Amino acid sequence: MKQTAVVLGILLFLAGTVSLAYSSDDSRIIEKLNKYGGKTEEEVYHKGDDKYKEGISRIVEYYDSNDRIAKIESFYREDSIEKDGVFKREQHYENENFKRAKLTRAEFFFSDAHSRLNGIMKSEIYYDDHERRSQIEYYYTPEHAKKKVLSKMVVFYEKDGEPSRRVYYDLNDKVISSEDARGTKKPGKK
């Protein structure tokens, strides 16, 4: 009788542990119909997860009406934010007429501390049809823009990945100046 009670207790303990392990799965649907026509899923990461080791605390994935990825938001852990300054990354995908999703744009949002220190609050990377970087836009904080009269810089890239030109914009989104890869400055025209 005592032995049966011990075995039953162990089985109940194991059953409870197994159910806790399954209930701690942090992947869930947070929206059944998003702006892309599909579902939105969230995955939360913990110590021991590969994404956690990469500095990511959670990922939100947006799917279209054909259940293909449209956008991924990655949110970073505090220690990663302190190191790199990025608290969130958004990746945008196009699915029309492609066998697989094609990355078209990635946005990086910087923490307030990083933005105050470096003057940049956001950057956007655009990709061509072959998913090669074609340009990067850097957006400066309003404080930096007022002090330096520079609100945005755009760097254009060649197909080989080398920068070809930089264009600088003022607070009114007008071109201040531009320079080619060799550093030759040209007066701004939009």
pLDDT digits (tens, 9 = 90+) for 36-67: 999 999 999 999 999 999 999 999 999 999 99
- What pLDDT was estimated at residue 6? 38
- What pLDDT was estimated at residue 99? 77
What is the total count of domains within the chain?
1
Most distant CA pair in the chain, distance: 93
For residue 179, what is the domain's CATH number? 3.90.930
Beta-carbon contacts of residue 41 (< 8 Å; ≥ 6 apart): 27, 28, 29, 30, 60, 61, 63
Beta-carbon contacts of residue 140 (< 8 Å; ≥ 6 apart): 119, 120, 121, 148, 150, 151, 152, 153
SS3 29: strand
Residue 111's domain comprises: 27-187
Is position 14 within any domain? no
pTM, to two decimals = 0.80
Is position 10 within any domain? no
Is position 13 within any domain? no
131: which DSSP letter? S
Is position 2 within any domain? no
Query: How far apart are alpha carbons 102 and 98 in whole angstroms?
Result: 7
70: which DSSP letter? E
Calculate the average pLDDT of the chain.
86
